[in-house]
Amino acid sequence: MHQTRLLTTSDVTAIAKRVGLDALMDAMIDRLSRKFSEYQAEQYLIPVRSGLHYHAPHDGLIEWMPALENQRSAFVKAVSYHPENPDRYGVPSVSSTGALYDIHTGRLAALIDSTFLTALRTGAASAVASRILAKPDSATVGIIGAGAQAVTQLHALLRCFPVESVLFYDIDERAVKSFSSRISAFLPDGVRVAESTVNDVVRYADILCTCTSLAAGEKPLFEDMLTKPWLHVNAVGADFPGKKELPLSFVRRSLVVPDFREQAEREGECQMLEHAEIGPDIITMLQTNGGNLDGQNRTTIFDSTGYALEDQAAMEMMLELAEAQNIGSMIELVRPPADPINPYDPEISGAEQSRSNRAKYSN
């Protein structure tokens, strides 16, 4: 009863391989959609994340994202963000572990590599938002920032829209070069993929995903311009105070739907807006059937800062799959002592401590 279930990268990879990428993304989209639709505020306690932020030796951020579901689960995802990682160390900028606690005793019930799951749920969340906010027959996906997040953004959208072409832009030549091969595992036949300029990506997109690592205080990714009248943007990059990807006038004239309003006002595109200028959050949109958006021909923005509720859904899904497939291992990370009110295990205390040999007190 006191063991901790461990799902390492290898375990998560094995599960994903068995399920298949498309089926896994579909399941994640369905689960998130259900989670948002069934969410009741009084059943959850989800504080805005906080973290340790530093600039030396490199820019870095370690955050914890907690989520309590009443009587059911307590969950904390730790996530680190080191934007220089790929260039400096050849490892991803984001790395993450999820910790699930037994709500009865507070013991650590499961520990999961959440790096892959974070990318998966971020893609799925954009798909859920796009299904309710974007033009249903969206055929052109635009991508600014073709790194790790772009892969799952595109994958999720391909599962929900009749995509015919993908236009992408990145300042990093290597990201540009490898993009096609990184999406080849799930790109349907006949979908055209082309590198483009920022302006053309914005101009021609029905759905635009911005998922860059721009730094806090930098100017927006593009100047406001003429777009398709019903352009929908999944703004994924902004997740820190001062970090904003979109131009103010574009944000002002769009319907802005945050994932988690309080957090988006601190860290997302919503930073630019007055409280009253912000639209309903994604949960409200889903629970009110999208507020009758159909045919409104207005630009829309999903302000995706990353929501612990999504992580909880992803972790639950992965744990269920692990159980069904019997993958993962159990470790005895924290073993309760024989006597709950003795921190000194008899095994330690039993160690021969010759009383006469012991040094006396020293003040």
Record the tokens describing residue 352, joined without a space: 């021969």
Q: Which stretch binds a second copy (CB under 8 A): 51-59, 202-210, 227-235, 284-292?
A: 51-59
Q: Which stretch binds a second copy (CB under 8 A): 95-103, 262-270, 285-293, 316-324?
A: 95-103
Is 328 buried (19+), middle (13-18) or exposed (0-12) by CB count in 10 A?
buried
For position 107 contacting a second copy by CB under 8 A, the verdict is yes
- Contact mark string toward a second copy, 217..236, x via CB under 8 A: --------------------
Record the tokens describing residue 135, joined without a space: 């033009």
Site for a second copy in 247-266 (CB under 8 A): none
Task: Give the ranges where 184-328 is alpha helix by DSSP (H).
Answer: 198-204, 248-252, 261-267, 282-287, 308-325
Q: Which of 42, 173, 274, 332 binds a second copy (CB under 8 A)?
A: 332
Q: Which of 37, 38, 43, 105 binds a second copy (CB under 8 A)?
A: 105
Q: Which of 40, 41, 42, 90 binds a second copy (CB under 8 A)?
A: 90
DSSP string, 209-232: EE---PPTTPPPSS------TT-E
Q: What are phi and psi of 194, to 5 degrees?
A: -140, 135
For position 57 contacting a second copy by CB under 8 A, the verdict is yes
State the residue for tokens 């989670």: 35
Q: Is the peptide bond before 57 cis (omega within 30 degrees of 0)?
A: yes
**Shortest CB 50 distance to a second copy, Å:** 7
Question: Which of residues 63 and 269 has its CB atom nearest to a second copy in the complex?
Answer: 63
The alpha carbon dihedral of 219, 232, 208, 86 has a sign of positive
For position 342 contacting a second copy by CB under 8 A, the verdict is yes
Question: Which of residues 97 and 271 has its CB atom nearest to a second copy in the complex?
Answer: 97
Nearest CA-CA partner of 207 in 297, 301, 133, 140: 140
Site for a second copy in 179-218 (CB under 8 A): 182, 184-186, 188-189
Q: Which stretch binds a second copy (CB under 8 A): 62-70, 223-231, 289-297, 318-326?
A: 62-70
Q: Which of 120, 128, 201, 209 binds a second copy (CB under 8 A)?
A: 120
For position 348 contacting a second copy by CB under 8 A, the verdict is yes
Q: Which of 34, 38, 45, 249 binds a second copy (CB under 8 A)?
A: 45
For position 289 contacting a second copy by CB under 8 A, the verdict is no
What order do you get walking across the sheet with 192-195 strand by strand? 192-195, 165-169, 140-144, 207-210, 232-235, 300-303, 255-258
CA distance 241 to 263: 10
Q: What b/e string do you get for 103-120 counting C-beta neighbours within 10 Å, with b at 16 or more? A: beeeebbbbbbbbbbbbb
**Shortest CB 324 distance to a second copy, Å:** 17
For position 298 contacting a second copy by CB under 8 A, the verdict is no
Is the Cβ–Cβ distance between 208 and 221 less than 8 Å? no
Site for a second copy in 6-35 (CB under 8 A): 6, 8-10, 13, 16-18, 20-22, 26
Site for a second copy in 146-165 (CB under 8 A): 147-149, 151-152, 155, 158-163
Is the Cβ–Cβ distance between 336 and 2 less than 8 Å? yes
For position 167 contacting a second copy by CB under 8 A, the verdict is no
Using CB under 8 A, count the residues that bind a second copy.
Answer: 108
For position 173 contacting a second copy by CB under 8 A, the verdict is no
For position 275 contacting a second copy by CB under 8 A, the verdict is no
Q: Which of 37, 38, 52, 330 binds a second copy (CB under 8 A)?
A: 52
Beta-carbon contacts of 209 under 8 Å, excluding residues fewer than 6 positions away, are 126, 141, 142, 143, 144, 145, 149, 150, 153, 154, 157, 233, 234, 236
CA distance 1 to 12: 23
- DSSP code at position 345: -
For position 139 contacting a second copy by CB under 8 A, the verdict is no
Question: Which of residues 156 and 272 has its CB atom nearest to a second copy in the complex?
Answer: 156
